[in-house]
Structure 1
Amino acid sequence: MPQIRPVSDLRNHFAEISRIVHENNEPVFLTKNGYGDMVVMSIEQYENIQQNQEIIMKLKEAEHEADTSKERYSHSEVFNNLRMQIRNKSDQ
């Protein structure tokens, strides 16, 4: 269940809010005058959201490229290419 707190709790109960976002791994929604104002979350939660958005963006790019290109690669071609890239990076 989401935690919804008044924004004044950020000042008056910071330690409790910090504990909630870290222990429950969920954001705390802060209100001002009864309306949503801010969301507080841990850095780990934020980084996870950013990483998921990047993955979604890359998948959309891949879908677009697949829709606009006739070029296709076999499973072995893809993995051989990846192995070569990994070897090249480890040699540097």
Structure 2
Amino acid sequence: MPQIRPIKDLRNTNEISEICHKSKEPVFITKNGYGDMVIMSMEIYERKMALLEVYKKLSEAEKELADGMPLKDGEKVFKELREKYGK
């Protein structure tokens, strides 16, 4: 579960870093009772960014299908890739 911490807690950077790494969740920082920042570990950030990239590619593929782009035979595509890259 994500934690919500006041901005004054940023004075203890080691504690915030530990929370981010142990919980594997972002830490939400508030300022004057309102949301201000989100802090997360690099691991979680990279995972979230990779997931966003997957969603972006899926969205592009769905648009291509909706626009009438012809489908390719999966077996044929993988065979061509194996021949090209020797695996």
TM-score (norm 1): 0.83
| 2: CA distance, partners of 1:76 / 1:2 | 43
* Alpha-carbon RMSD: 1.7
TM alignment of 1:27-46, pairs within 5 A: 27-46=26-45
The answer for the alignment partner of 2:74 in structure 1 is 75
Distance of 1:81 and 1:2 partners within structure 2: 45
d(CA) in 1 for partners of 2:74, 2:41: 39
Instruction: Give the Å deviation of 1:50.
Output: 0.8
Task: Name whichever of 48-57 and 70-79 sits farther off.
Answer: 70-79
**Distance apart, 1:85 and its partner CA:** 4.4
Gaps of 5+ in 2: none
Match of 1:48 in 2: 47
TM-score normalised per structure 2: 0.88
Q: Distance in 1 between matches of 2:84 and 2:58?
A: 20
Q: 1:20 to 1:85 in 2, by over 3 A?
A: farther
In the comparison of the two structures, how many residue pairs are matched? 87
- TM-aligned CA deviation for residue 5 of structure 1: 0.6
Q: How far apart, in 2, do the equivalents of 1:72 and 1:37 lie? A: 45
Unaligned runs of 5+ in 1: none
Once the two structures are TM-superposed, the CA of residue 21 in structure 1 deviates from its matched residue by: 0.4
Q: Match for 2:39: what amino acid?
A: V
- Which secondary structure state, in structure 2, belongs to the residue aligned with residue 69 of structure 1? coil
Residue 9 of structure 1 is matched in structure 2 by 9
Residues 70 and 57 of structure 1: CA distance in aligned 2, closer, same or farther (over 3 Å) = closer
